[in-house]
Amino acid sequence: MTREEAIEKLKSYDPMSMMPALQMAIKALEEPQWIPCSERLPEEGREVLTCLTDWKTGEQRRVVSYRIDFNMWHGYGRYNEKCVAWMPMPEPWRGDAE
């Protein structure tokens, strides 16, 4: 079952006593997830959150980057790091307006 199928199944289930828990589960499933670069890359020029891994130490950090060519990234990476995963940027914080 895909994430999208799970979301649709949960949305269609309607016992009133389960609604708060179901709404929380739907929200968690709809949130962006890390996508391995080996699985799929974002479109060129699209700003995304990237997980970079140091080639030597394995240390990871997260930075905002965008892909400029096949597996070349522009952002705050260092020469000794490779991008191993990415996710769409979250929506901006809206403060108390929501």
pLDDT of the residue at 14 = 67
Cβ atoms of 10 and 26 within 8 Å: the answer is yes
Averaged pLDDT for residues 30-40? 87
Cα separation, 55 vs 22, whole angstroms: 41
> Which residue shows structure tokens 């996710």?
87
46: confidence class by pLDDT, cuts 50, 70, 90? confident
pLDDT of the residue at 36 = 92
pLDDT of the residue at 55 = 86
Could you state, in order of their start, the residue ranges of all structural domains in the chain? 1-31, 32-90
Average pLDDT of the residues of the chain: 80
Amino acid at 74: H
Most confident of 1-15, 51-65, 76-90: 51-65
